[in-house]
Structures are given as C-alpha cells and as structure tokens.
C-alpha cells in the first residue's frame, strides 16, 4: 500500500489587462486529489507524474491532508498576491527616508547635495526589515529611497516598466536631481537595476547614469533563478516551496515578461555602468547561482569595472545582514567611504 498526493492537473491562466493604469491579473488553479493509506509509506507518488517528490517515512494520512491544505494555500497566495494589483509605484513602492532626524521636508532642502542610496528590496520584503539596511546608510548620514518589490514587478512587463519609470521620475525630482547615487539591489532588486541598465544602454537617462557612484548587489538572482526566487517569496516551508518552484517553472517561459528576462540577463553581464561594485553573497545560497555570480564578476573585471566582494561560507539568501551583521556592516561602510 502507498500513500500519495495525485496532482491531476495544473491549470495556469495568465492574462494582462490594461485598465487606465497597468493591471496584472494572474489566475492559478491547482486541483489536488488526496488518497489516504497506511502511514508506513516512505514516499508520496504523483500518479500523473508532473510533481513526483520524495517524502519522509513518518508522513501519513494526517500529513497528506495537511500537504493538500498547503497546496491550496499556495494557490491562494499566488492568486491574491498577483490578481488585480494596480500600481501607483511612486506612492506605494517608493519611499524616502532621510538620514537625519530633522523634519523630512527641511532635510530635503538642507541636504540637496548629499548622496542618496537607492535600496531595492528582495521580493515581497516587509518594509520594517528593509529599513534595517537603510539604517546602515543613515548611520553614514546618507538618505535612502526604499523600493519594495512585489511579484508583479517581476512577472508583469508593464508593472516593471511603471516601477522603473517612477524611480527615474523620482531621481529627477528637484529634491534629488543633483545627488550622487549609490544603488543597492537585494536578490530580485538586481533585476530592477538591470531595467535601468537597459535604458542606459539605449542612451537614455545619462544624467542618472553619470550620478551613479556605486553599485551593490546582495544575493543577486539571474533571471533563470526567478522561479526559485518566487517560491521562496511565497513561503518559507520547503514542501510548499518545492511545489511553487515547479509551478513557476512550468509557466516561466510563457510569461509576457520572458523576452525581457533574456535582455535583462544580457545587459547585466555587459553592464554599461563603470562605477565601483560590491558583491555580497554566500557559497551555499540555493537561490543565487554562485557560479553565475562569479562568472559575471569575472566579466565585469575584464571590462575594468572595480569589484569588491563580501563572501560567506554559510548564510541564508538575502539575510546576510541578519546572520553576519558585523562583517556586513564593516564591508559596506568601507566600500561606501571609498567611493564618496
């Protein structure tokens, strides 16, 4: 006898609608059939075979039902996080935090020449955690623009375009137009940065390009890592992540933004911006492909882009500040002080 979850079908429907501002509608339906049997089974078998996976021996009927529930939760999370999301990126995704404790408007007026850090988060990051990174810059007297990325910013080309345009508009705002810029992208934040690189490559926004003094990447993910990145953004439970990654990989090449992913990867490796860079990553990161990172670093070095690295043997994806606060802070501070 065996106990198994039979995933009879996965129906993924994607449609992008334009209603005034860009709206992304993604509907995902996962039909799960659970068949129970004795708890001494060692594996869960997918009879339809698309999602076969190993399972510990102590899983039985109760846990199979739990797994089905988790799969339903996954479908709900994917749907609720991506359906009918409208974007007013400047007000919702981009926030300004002054490095001083003065009144914000007063700070902008008195610090119009001060450096500005643009901090782009990992997917679905809670702002309170992103602000821990902003605090590193505030301790150096540097103001921050915090950009919180959401799933549609990666999955929808129109949402990506709107976010990057809102960021550019903000950088041209009178409060920021004369400031030197340090860019830091965490995980999927590197993807957003690559959208800027595409515009620089086309000869657009040269003023912003010339103001860039440093580019920092914490656990950057190439576009091939997007499915796994989506899975980790949806849940911290390994079982749910495995299913989410398989679903994401099934729809990855069918996404409207897929052609943009290819261009994004190319321009990131060829980087038209020559300012110094800092790479922060760990050798055991399951989301960031370390070999790809090292290959990109080598290419940048050959293009005479100054490169520094902070490398951890063991850490967690986009959580290096949490697990290695002293080394992270010291390395970031030294880099920032060197480039300003």
Spatial neighbors of 238 by CB under 8 A, at least 6 apart, are: none
Number of domains forming the structure of the chain: 2
Domain boundary among 35, 60, 85: 85
Let me know whether 166 and 193 are in one domain: yes
Let me know whether 159 and 27 are in one domain: no
Let me know whether 25 and 160 are in one domain: no
Let me know whether 47 and 153 are in one domain: no
Tell whether 236 is covered by a domain.
Answer: no
Tell whether 320 is covered by a domain.
Answer: yes
Collapse the DSSP code of 340 into the 3-class scheme (helix H, G, I; strand E, B; otherwise coil) and give the result: coil
Let me know whether 76 and 97 are in one domain: no
How many residues are listed for the chain in this entry?
340
Let me know whether 114 and 205 are in one domain: yes
Collapse the DSSP code of 31 into the 3-class scheme (helix H, G, I; strand E, B; otherwise coil) and give the result: strand
**Which residues of the chain fall short of a pLDDT of 50?**
1-91, 103-109
Collapse the DSSP code of 256 into the 3-class scheme (helix H, G, I; strand E, B; otherwise coil) and give the result: coil
Let me know whether 124 and 45 are in one domain: no
Domain boundary among 85, 115, 146: 85
Token readout for 327 is 């080394």
Tell whether 246 is covered by a domain.
Answer: no
- Per-residue pLDDT tens over the stretch 54-63: 334 343 344 4
Tell whether 244 is covered by a domain.
Answer: no
Token readout for 240 is 């749910």
Tell whether 238 is covered by a domain.
Answer: no
Tell whether 237 is covered by a domain.
Answer: no
Question: How many angstroms separate the CA atoms of 100 and 97, rounded?
Answer: 9
Let me know whether 95 and 154 are in one domain: yes
Domain boundary among 85, 109, 126: 85
pLDDT of residue 67: 42
Measured CA to CA in angstroms, residue 334 lies from 12, 136, 287, 296 at distances of 47, 12, 27, 22
Cβ distance 133 to 119 under 8 Å? yes
The CATH number of residue 317's host domain is 3.40.50.1820
Tell whether 240 is covered by a domain.
Answer: no
Closest CA to 156 of 285, 45, 256: 256
Closest CA to 233 of 74, 70, 124: 124
Let me know whether 36 and 141 are in one domain: no
Tell whether 216 is covered by a domain.
Answer: yes
- Per-residue pLDDT tens over the stretch 27-83: 333 323 333 333 322 232 333 333 333 334 343 344 443 444 444 444 444 333 333
Closest CA to 323 of 285, 277, 279, 278: 285
Let me know whether 74 and 174 are in one domain: no
The parent domain of residue 319 ranges over 87-226+251-339
Let me know whether 159 and 291 are in one domain: yes
Sign for the pseudo-dihedral over CA of 267, 313, 229, 145 = negative
Helices and strands in the chain, H and E counts: 14, 12
């Amino acid at each position: 006898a065996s106990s198994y979850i039979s995933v009879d079908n996965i129906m993924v429907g994607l449609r992008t609608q334009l209603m005034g501002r860009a709206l992304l509608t993604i509907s995902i339906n996962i039909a799960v059939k659970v068949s129970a049997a004795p708890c001494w089974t060692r594996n869960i078998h997918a009879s339809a075979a698309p999602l076969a996976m190993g399972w510990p021996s102590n899983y039985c009927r109760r846990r199979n039902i739990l797994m089905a529930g988790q799969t339903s939760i996954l479908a709900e999370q994917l749907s609720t996080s991506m359906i009918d999301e409208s974007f007013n990126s400047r007000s919702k995704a981009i926030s300004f935090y002054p490095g001083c404790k003065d009144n914000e408007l007063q700070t902008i007026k008195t610090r119009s020449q001060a450096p500005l850090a643009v901090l782009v988060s990992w997917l679905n990051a809670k702002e309170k955690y992103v602000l821990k990174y902003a605090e590193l810059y505030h301790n150096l007297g540097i103001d921050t623009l915090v950009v919180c990325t959401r799933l549609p910013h990666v999955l929808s080309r129109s949402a990506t375009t709107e976010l990057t345009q809102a960021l550019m508009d903000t950088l041209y705002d009178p409060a920021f137009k004369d400031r030197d810029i340090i860019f830091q992208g965490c995980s999927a934040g590197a993807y957003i940065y690559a959208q800027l690189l595409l515009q620089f490559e086309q000869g657009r926004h040269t003023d912003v390009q010339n103001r860039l003094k440093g580019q920092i990447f914490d656990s950057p993910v190439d576009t091939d890592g997007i499915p796994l990145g989506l899975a980790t953004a949806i849940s911290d439970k390994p079982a749910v992540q495995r299913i989410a990654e398989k679903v994401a990989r099934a729809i990855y090449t069918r996404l409207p933004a897929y052609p943009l992913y290819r261009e994004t990867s190319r321009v990131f490796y060829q980087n038209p911006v020559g300012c110094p860079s800092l790479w922060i990553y760990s050798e055991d990161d399951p989301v960031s492909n370390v070999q790809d990172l090292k290959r990109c670093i080598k290419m940048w070095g050959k293009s005479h882009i100054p490169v520094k690295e902070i490398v951890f043997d063991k850490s967690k994806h986009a959580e290096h500040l949490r697990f290695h606060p002293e080394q992270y802070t010291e390395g970031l501070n030294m880099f920032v002080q060197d480039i300003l």
